[in-house]
């Protein structure tokens, strides 16, 4: 019996060492349950698409295969997210993390798990300005722009439509507060007035009290910095029902199929914007996805890029160890080098293998600035006849 056990253990050991040389695991930690659960499946599909592409090419580190491992960040529960990330690193042994999604849990995972364990983390959707100054030992990047940028973009859109007075409501967490503050700063600097900036709690049945306060303060438009699957929709419903506001501006957390499903033509005349690449890149990305999932859902191209960046940086460093490849992320993302677009990961891997340099553009026109965050292109949307129409890219 003892011999048998030793034998099995030895085989298992050999098997795992033999495997480790050619299998790279990438963790994908997103809120598969919780307030943005209708967005995350497409995001994970985006990341897995890039992983699949690299794995199939057989170019990464002498033919390594790459496997994704999903975990649930819950979007709001820092404790659960930390435990899930811990499991990814200690039990699954991932060499890099795509995630997390919401700003609060991203900060928690970064400081409690990624930094102590020294694992690179690239978030496709955490947009809180606070994360720009987070202590990260050079391990944290994001392919989504900081909300400081989004605040400026919303200001431009509203100013162009000659709207000078707005009310703001935000979901009471890092994302909502960060966006509301950065918007208010930008809007007031541009000469606009924010009549009220009030928080709302997610998961309530009734928002009539919140709307009462917002309506009393007044404004030409209501900026809803919330989540479409949560309080954001409740606020819009209550505002429409009571006739407090007819038009809205929807930041990235609100743009989804669900919004049109919920409100249809009731929100005609509203505006919206979410981080999104230029037309040609999004068409290229849509072609690559080929209808396997909804490629226009927010943050799926960013997720593709986040996974691609990790793998390209590994190739550039010739190692799957985070401490080796963390310095390469900025190198592969920015000039100089050959431009690598979406669907050309194999080409990029080959150039890096031969010691060349690349400027990864990917699905969103990646350009990392400052502490490693995307400069950001936004798709401006106008709501007309119950549909969302792309107005332009900013």
Partner 1 sequence: MDFLNALVALSNFVLVPGIAYGSQLALGALGVTLIYGILRFSNFAHGDTMAFGAMVAVLVTWWMQGIGIGLGPLPTALLALPFAILGCMALLLVTDRLVYRFYREQKAKPVILVIVSMGVMFIMNGLVRFIIGPDDQRFSDGERFIISARDFKEMTGLDEGLTIKTTQGITVIVAVIAVALLFWFLNKTRTGKSMRAYSDNEDLALLSGINPERVVMYTWLIVAALATTAGVLYGLDKSFKPFVYFQLLLPIFASAIVGGLGSPLGAIAGGFIIAFSEVTITYAWKKVLEYIGAEPSGLVQLLSTDYKFAVSFVILLIVLLFRPTGLFRGKSV
Q: How near is the Cβ of 130 to partner 1 at its closest, in Å? A: 20
Please state, in angstroms and rounded to a whole number, the distance separating the CA atoms of residues 248 and 233: 12
Q: Please, are residues 254 and 272 in contact by the beta-carbon 8 Å criterion?
A: yes
Q: How near is the Cβ of 237 to partner 1 at its closest, in Å? A: 9
- When binding is defined by CB under 8 A, the residue of 17, 91, 191, 243 that contacts partner 1 is 243
| Residue 242 touching partner 1 (CB under 8 A) | yes
Q: How near is the Cβ of 38 to partner 1 at its closest, in Å? A: 11
| Residue 234 touching partner 1 (CB under 8 A) | yes
| Residue 216 touching partner 1 (CB under 8 A) | yes
Residue closer to partner 1 (CB basis): 206 or 385: 206
**Residue 351 burial by CB count (10 A; 0-12/13-18/19+): exposed, middle or buried?**
buried
Residue closer to partner 1 (CB basis): 241 or 387: 241
Residue closer to partner 1 (CB basis): 153 or 167: 167
Site map for partner 1, 185-204, x if CB under 8 A?
A: -----------x-xxxx-xx
**Residue 353 burial by CB count (10 A; 0-12/13-18/19+): exposed, middle or buried?**
middle
| Residue 290 touching partner 1 (CB under 8 A) | no
Q: How near is the Cβ of 172 to partner 1 at its closest, in Å? A: 7
Size of the site for partner 1 (CB under 8 A): 25
| Residue 215 touching partner 1 (CB under 8 A) | yes
| Residue 260 touching partner 1 (CB under 8 A) | no
| Residue 241 touching partner 1 (CB under 8 A) | yes
| Residue 162 touching partner 1 (CB under 8 A) | no
- Candidates 289, 278, 237; CA nearest to 258 is 237
| Residue 265 touching partner 1 (CB under 8 A) | no
Cis peptide before 84 (omega within 30 of 0): no
- When binding is defined by CB under 8 A, the residue of 213, 260, 286, 369 that contacts partner 1 is 213
Q: How near is the Cβ of 170 to partner 1 at its closest, in Å? A: 12
**Residue 43 burial by CB count (10 A; 0-12/13-18/19+): exposed, middle or buried?**
buried
| Residue 217 touching partner 1 (CB under 8 A) | yes
| Residue 167 touching partner 1 (CB under 8 A) | no
| Residue 172 touching partner 1 (CB under 8 A) | yes
Q: Cα-flanking dihedrals φ and ψ of residue 322, to 5°?
A: -55, -40
| Residue 218 touching partner 1 (CB under 8 A) | yes
Q: How near is the Cβ of 223 to partner 1 at its closest, in Å? A: 17
Q: How near is the Cβ of 98 to partner 1 at its closest, in Å? A: 27
Please state, in angstroms and rounded to a whole number, the distance separating the CA atoms of residues 338 and 320: 23
Please state, in angstroms and rounded to a whole number, the distance separating the CA atoms of residues 208 and 371: 41
| Residue 208 touching partner 1 (CB under 8 A) | yes
Q: Please, are residues 345 and 353 in contact by the beta-carbon 8 Å criterion?
A: no
Q: Which residues bind partner 1 (CB under 8 A)?
A: 172, 196, 198-201, 203-206, 208-213, 215-218, 234, 241-244
């Amino acid at each position: 019996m003892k011999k048998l056990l030793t034998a099995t253990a030895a085989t298992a050991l050999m098997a795992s060492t033999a495997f480790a040389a050619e299998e790279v695991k990438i963790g994908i930690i997103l809120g598969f349950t919780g307030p943005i659960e209708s967005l995350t499946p497409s995001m994970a599909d985006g990341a897995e698409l890039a992983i699949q592409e690299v794995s199939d090419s057989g170019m990464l580190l002498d033919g390594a295969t790459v496997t994704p491992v999903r975990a649930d960040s819950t979007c709001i529960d820092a404790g659960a997210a930390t435990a899930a990330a811990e499991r990814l690193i200690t039990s699954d042994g991932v060499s890099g993390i795509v995630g997390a999604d919401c700003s609060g849990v991203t900060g928690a995972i970064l400081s409690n798990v990624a930094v102590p364990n020294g694992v690179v983390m690239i978030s496709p959707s955490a947009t809180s300005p606070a994360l720009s100054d987070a202590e990260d030992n050079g391990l944290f990047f994001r392919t989504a722009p900081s909300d400081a940028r989004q605040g400026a973009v919303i200001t431009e859109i509203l100013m162009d439509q000659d709207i000078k007075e707005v009310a703001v409501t935000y979901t009471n967490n890092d994302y909502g507060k960060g966006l509301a503050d950065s918007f208010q700063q930008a809007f007031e600097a541009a000469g606009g007035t924010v009549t009220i900036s009030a928080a709302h709690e997610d998961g309530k049945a009734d928002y009539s009290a919140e709307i009462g306060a917002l309506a009393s303060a007044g404004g030409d438009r209501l900026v809803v910095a919330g989540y479409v699957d949560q309080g954001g929709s409740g606020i819009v419903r209550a505002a429409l029902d009571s006739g407090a506001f007819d038009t809205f501006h929807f930041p990235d957390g609100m743009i989804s199929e669900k919004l049109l499903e919920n409100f249809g033509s009731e929100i005609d005349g509203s505006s919206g914007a979410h981080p999104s690449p230029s037309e040609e890149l999004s068409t290229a990305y849509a072609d690559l996805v080929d209808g396997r999932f909804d490629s226009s859902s927010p943050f799926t191209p960013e997720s593709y890029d986040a996974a691609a960046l990790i793998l390209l940086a590994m190739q550039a460093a010739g190692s799957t160890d985070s401490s080796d490849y963390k310095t390469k992320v900025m190198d592969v993302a920015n000039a100089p080098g050959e431009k690598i677009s979406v669907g050309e990961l194999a080409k990029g891997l080959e150039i890096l293998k031969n010691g060349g340099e690349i400027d990864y553009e990917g699905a969103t026109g990646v350009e990392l600035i400052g502490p490693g965050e995307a400069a950001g292109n936004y798709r401006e949307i106008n709501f007309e006849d119950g549909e969302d129409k792309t107005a332009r890219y900013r």
